[in-house]
């Protein structure tokens, strides 16, 4: 299952990169440029950090006989789903801030702090194991996911939509 998710993610990433490049090169109406930039930028923000985090965790967990998801418990693909949700919320909050001039980017930081705090509370309160490594993996994954989503989303809105 994990291999299938990696291959699907890689295909979506490559398609999004090619589409974003073509959108910048091929002359099309502005309305379509914005729509397709947001669509393929969202897909890139959704899947690229997940693939990179998966590769980093595979390297960090090398030598371990068990997968971290199995070792710490939880849903079989729960980390992927939580990561997709986190990155979707980051993308959505930056998009709302981009299009709504009444909001500031400081409001995004307060929103993101709620995501991190809420996730930390749920992770620690629902943990049945006292294994410190599991908590470290969760926090590392969360920070990597949010950090990469912020960087990618900011780059998409700053360089591709504003110009």
Give the per-residue pLDDT at 4.
84
Q: What is the mean pLDDT of residues 9-26?
A: 93
Contact 30, 37 (CB under 8 A): no
Q: How far apart are the first and last CA of the chain?
A: 39
C-alpha 124/C-alpha 45 separation (Å) is 27
C-alpha 86/C-alpha 49 separation (Å) is 11
Residue among 17, 19, 162 nearest 98 (CA): 162
More confident of the two residues 19 and 163:
19
Per-residue pLDDT of 41-92, as tens digits, reads 999 999 999 899 888 887 876 655 456 666 676 677 777 888 898 899 889 8
Contact 78, 119 (CB under 8 A): no
- Chain centre to alpha carbon of residue 153: 10
The least confident of 9-23, 43-57, 110-124 is: 110-124
Per-residue pLDDT of 137-148, as tens digits, reads 777 888 899 899
pLDDT averaged over every residue in the chain: 81
Give the per-residue pLDDT at 77.
73
Region of 28 please: left (phi>0), alpha (psi -120 to 50) or beta: beta
Task: Report domain extents, the chain.
Answer: 2-162
Contact 51, 13 (CB under 8 A): yes
- Per-residue pLDDT band at 112 (split at 50, 70, 90): confident
């Amino acid at each position: 299952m994990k291999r299938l998710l990696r291959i699907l993610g890689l295909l979506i990433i490559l398609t999004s990169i090619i589409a974003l490049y073509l959108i910048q090169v091929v002359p099309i109406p502005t309305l379509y440029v914005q729509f397709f930039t947001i669509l393929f930028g969202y897909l890139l923000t959704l899947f690229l950090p997940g693939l990179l985090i998966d590769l980093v965790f595979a390297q960090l967990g090398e030598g371990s006989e068990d997968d971290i998801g199995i070792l710490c418990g939880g849903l079989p693909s729960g980390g992927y789903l939580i990561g997709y949700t986190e990155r979707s919320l980051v993308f959505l909050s930056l998009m709302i801030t981009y299009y709504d001039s009444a909001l500031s980017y400081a409001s995004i930081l307060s929103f993101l702090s709620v995501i991190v705090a809420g996730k930390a509370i749920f992770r620690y309160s629902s943990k049945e194991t006292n294994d410190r490594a599991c908590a470290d993996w969760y926090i590392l994954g969360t920070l990597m996911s949010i950090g990469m989503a912020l960087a990618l989303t900011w780059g998409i809105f700053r360089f591709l939509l504003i110009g």
